[in-house]
Amino acid sequence: MERAPKFEGRPVWAEISLGAIQRNFRRIRRHIGRGRKILSVVKGNAYGHGAVPVSKALAKAGSDWFGVTSTAEGIELREAGIRQPILLLTGFWPGEERRILRYRLTPVVTEITQLHLLERAARRVGRRLDFHLKVDTGMSRLGIAPSAADAFLAALADCPHLRLGGTMTHFASSEVFTNTQTEAQLRVFLDFVARLRAAGLHPGLLHLANSAAIASRPETWGDMVRPGALLYGYHQRYDPPERLAEVCETLPLEPALSLRARIVSLRDLPAGVGIGYNARFVTDRPSRIAVIPAGYADGLVRQLSNTGRVIVRGRCVPIVGIVSMDLTTIDVTDVPGVRLGDVVTIFGRQGPLSRSPFDVAAEIGTVTSDLLCALGSRVPRFYRR
């Protein structure tokens, strides 16, 4: 039987291996070489794994930078003692400039007008502020257009308290090798950087590569790479699919997270009984149905209703009925000896079997990070080194 941590309260929990995250980081370091920096992406509570403990573990492993989405995420890391540079990957809101300076965060500029906000704040405190510039090379979300290079240069010339510390872009489909979008984005980016250099402006750190590009496109590595899902043990799904086997061989990873619960109810039901909301599942035989105290507020997403599987006593069993916010029902009819309190593995390994978020995401047509980020704040996390 699977050993579970001892704690009081609702019996659903996550187990997170900080050692696996550190080993994944070191594998990435070996893969890209020691001449490049690594920005560890810990946004979204480190993809559900816990931003503070994960960032501390990665700082010990040698992470050069950290990447977050918001000033609030950056401040959380600073107050926890993280001293490495922290990049606000999706920029900042007007009015956040003072907090950026106070907590030594590095903003990403995605609109030229943001330069003037940062300049005014930096001038007020008499400090020089580094920023990174995001260029929209084809993602069509955030970033200045390549055609705005001259306007950017003119605006920066009026901001003596600002310094360009890095230039970046974001790939839309770096895991797709059946089209040339990534190659086109790379060309646009390099052309933009050449225009900066021609105008006498050093672009700072060049960084483009997200997880899929780190694993499979060395021409995009630049001066710094930005692993997200890779740190937590997951590759992307590639197009064509056979590409995945290649990247798994060149960059092996360890999934860091397991999600488990205990059986809190067992009942024997005859055939023809509806289970859960709207009776979306009806027993077609005499069945033993178990209830686990985990639902979509915990990270067991609703898309798994009547389709997902979990592991009980070393056997895969189906989720039956609708996954609710707090509870999920599973069919354990074919599991000998099942009893109250048995550990159920939602994600992770139990005995010879495993259910990876990567595999589950593929089954329901989403991405791994979608499932990881769904892990609810009310789920206690237990960290193993």
> Which of residues 250, 266, 286 is at a domain's end?
250
Express each pLDDT in 213-250 by its tens digit: 999 999 999 999 999 999 999 999 999 999 999 999 99
Identify the bridge partners of residue 261 per DSSP, sorted by sequence position: 12, 344
> Which of residues 216, 250, 284 is at a domain's end?
250
The whole-angstrom separation of Cα 50 and Cα 45 is 5
Q: Sorting pLDDT into bands at 50, 70 and 90, what band is 262?
A: very high
Based on the domain organization, do 208 and 96 belong to the same domain?
A: yes
Based on the domain organization, do 277 and 133 belong to the same domain?
A: no
Kindly list the distances between the CA atom of residue 225 and the CA atoms of 23, 93, 95, 213, 319, in Å, as whole numbers in the listed order.
17, 25, 29, 9, 39
Task: Give how many domains the chain has, as a whole number.
Answer: 2
Based on the domain organization, do 311 and 238 belong to the same domain?
A: no
Based on the domain organization, do 173 and 217 belong to the same domain?
A: yes
Based on the domain organization, do 226 and 284 belong to the same domain?
A: no
Q: Encoding tokens for residue 249? A: 């061989």
Whether residue 226 lies inside any domain: the answer is yes
Based on the domain organization, do 301 and 324 belong to the same domain?
A: yes
Whether residue 13 lies inside any domain: the answer is no
What is the Cβ-side half-sphere exposure of residue 372, based on CA atoms within 13 angstroms? 31
Q: Sorting pLDDT into bands at 50, 70 and 90, what band is 5?
A: confident
Segment 142-152 shows an average pLDDT of: 96
Whether residue 366 lies inside any domain: the answer is no
Based on the domain organization, do 193 and 177 belong to the same domain?
A: yes
Q: Are 133 and 164 in contact (CB under 8 A)?
A: yes
The active-site residue out of 37, 43, 134, 296 is 43
Whether residue 262 lies inside any domain: the answer is yes
Q: Are 26 and 57 in contact (CB under 8 A)?
A: no
Q: What is the CATH number of the domain that holds 262?
A: 2.40.37.10
Based on the domain organization, do 212 and 159 belong to the same domain?
A: yes
Express each pLDDT in 269-306 by its tens digit: 999 999 999 999 999 999 999 999 999 999 999 999 99
Whether residue 119 has pLDDT greater than 90: yes
Based on the domain organization, do 80 and 111 belong to the same domain?
A: yes
Q: Sorting pLDDT into bands at 50, 70 and 90, what band is 8?
A: confident
Whether residue 2 lies inside any domain: the answer is no
Q: What is the CATH number of the domain that holds 201?
A: 3.20.20.10
Whether residue 371 lies inside any domain: the answer is no
What pLDDT sits at residue 7? 84
SS3 letters for the chain? CCCCCCCCCCCEEEEEEHHHHHHHHHHHHHHHCCCCEEEEECHHHHHCCCHHHHHHHHHHHCCCEEEECCHHHHHHHHHCCCCCCEEECCCCCCCCHHHHHHCCEEEEECCCHHHHHHHHHHHHHCCCEEEEEEECCCCCCCCECHHHHHHHHHHHHCCCCEEEEEEECCCCCCCECCCCHHHHHHHHHHHHHHHHHHCCCCCCEEECCCHHHHHHCHHHCCCEECCCHHHHCCCCCCECCCHHHHHHHHCCCCCCEEEEEECCEEEEECCCCEECHHHCEECCCCEEEEEECCCCCCCCCHHHCCCCEEEECCEEEEECCCCCCCCEEEECCCCCCCCCCCEEEEEEEECCEEECHHHHHHHHCCCHHHHHHCCCCCCCEEEEC
Q: Are strands 205-207 and 281-282 parallel, antiparallel or unpaired?
A: unpaired
The residue with tokens 């950087």 is: 193
Whether residue 322 lies inside any domain: the answer is yes
The whole-angstrom separation of Cα 6 and Cα 9 is 10
Whether residue 1 has pLDDT greater than 50: no
The whole-angstrom separation of Cα 370 and Cα 236 is 12
Based on the domain organization, do 168 and 71 belong to the same domain?
A: yes
Read off the amino acid at residue 54: V
Tell how far CA 246 is from the center of its chain.
22
On average, the pLDDT of the chain sits at 96
**Is 6 marked active-site?**
no
Based on the domain organization, do 233 and 268 belong to the same domain?
A: no
Express each pLDDT in 22-71 by its tens digit: 999 999 999 999 999 999 999 999 999 999 999 999 999 999 999 999 99
**Is 56 marked active-site?**
no
Whether residue 83 lies inside any domain: the answer is yes
Which residue range forms the structural domain that includes residue 337?
257-355
Based on the domain organization, do 245 and 261 belong to the same domain?
A: no
